[in-house]
Structure 1
Amino acid sequence: MALKWLQTFVTAAKYANYSKAAEKLYLAQPTVSQHIRNLEKSLDSKLFEKNGRNVELTKVGRIFLPTAQAMLEEFEQGLEEINRFENGFQQTFSCATAPFIASTIMPKFYQHLLSQHPEIDLQIEVVKSMDIEADILTNKVDFGLSRIEPQNKNVAYQKVLEDKIVLVIPNHEGFVQLDFQQLVATYPMLVNEHPYYIEEIIPYLRELYPNLTTMNLTQVDVIKSFLLNGLGFAFLPYSSVREEVKKGTLLLLDADQLPASSASAIYFCYKNSNTAIQKFQQILTDFLTQQKTRT
């Protein structure tokens, strides 16, 4: 069974038309027809039926289509592995990463890998923290970086960073002269989908400041955009605003208003450990420790 027959079959199934498939594959239409006949002969089953100028899959064709797609995908993955090997990579990892981690930590860490560990190829999949466990358990990824402590007993984890929560305001004249009580009375608190510390902070603050109002936003990057435009204040992990604080576009206020236990963590999560994964975890931990000591 030739690979080109499978490619032709999948393309013809997608467009339900031999002429369109020929155009997409840069083949002559008789060649497409011949590929389909060869595949049908190999399977001893008819895969398409005519439907006017188009074609449609037979019952056997519909059954075989997912298999053909999987075979082509596996072949492409094999080519990628060969390409990575020829480009000097000795180890490939796939990692499910929470959006916050992907946008704030992974760019610098990826640069670190390229310069210090060029033998490692890291494939990153950005997913919500709550979905990372499922990706690990189904072997979709080798490990994950989550901001939520895993609950499934089959997912092991190590805390690789504990990030302090800071009170952040814009570097605008209307903010810097306000104390926290005035800040709460004047502006909304910008919050996102990170209940592991927000769910602790909001009730605590509402007891002290019943007039506290909140504005729910989807991601940390959106909150920072609102902050930079003077639209509120926020409690955020320090790593998410480190660069803006250094530049002076955002300011930190005394966070005595926070519960003493408030902190945000990053967890390295995995199902099956081995020497390679342990080595990668150590590289990540060392990098995060270095970054923290520089602040």
Structure 2
Amino acid sequence: MALVSSTGLLNDARKNQYGIGAFNVHSLDMLYAVAEAAYEMRSPVIIQTTTGTVKQLGADVIAHNAKKASELYPVPIALHVDHCQEYSIILECIRAGYTSVMIDASMHPFDENVEKTLEVVKIAVPLEINVEAELGKVGGVEDEIVVEDKDAEKAIPEECVEFIRQTGVQTLAPAIGTAHGIYSGPPEIDFPRIEKIAQNVEVPLVLHGGSAIPAEEVKKCISLGMAKMNVSTELKNAYSAALQKHFEEDPKAFDPRSYFLKAKQEAKNIVKEKMELLESSGKQQFQRV
């Protein structure tokens, strides 16, 4: 099957109170690991790449392999560029075949965020490509974007309503107290804020900074209206740790087929774990090939 837009996936997830895992991949090996895990779990999935990964691997190469993965593993797979601040990169991804894009203009004043988001919406939505935007500022480090804790700002519910009205954006990532990266202490998630936003907007909400959030807090976020959870650092760390362990145990075992297989399996384990947590496993029917 072909790549799909994330719009329908996320609308169904919000309606039926489960979550879709969105996994940042940094290599083609990781891309196939996510697709394989989704197939084995009978789960829809969103494969994500950062702007840095697009620049390193190329949008065409990533999209070609994501399309091939969707043929090999026929579950609903969307391809998304995450936290993109560059209009030219978004256009490159759209032309290559991405089915979802995030324009992150959250560092700008509200009106400028609206203007930059609307630019992307006007191009992407007629092509049935999902558009995600952010309000507030999620702390931590995501690829080339660094937001210090002191600069993190939570989204204002009333602004979320007005932002969606003015832009028509289909997916919204409001800052609600999570952070990118692995937490040094328990995340301080603002559940009343999530609830108030969700009560006043119909679009699916996105939980950024999903790595290592306690399971019970993830479930509460989903029950309140979050439909998509981003996972990056936890997946990347598990993949890298498997490589490190391989060479610690056998420093002379240089066959890439051996150590990449181990890393790929660890990545799949993380993806499957998150799909179980989000209750997306078994949510989509598909035919074996």
State whether TM-score is above 0.5. no
TM-score normalised according to structure 2 size: 0.23
Structure having the higher Rg = 1
TM-score normalised according to structure 1 size: 0.23
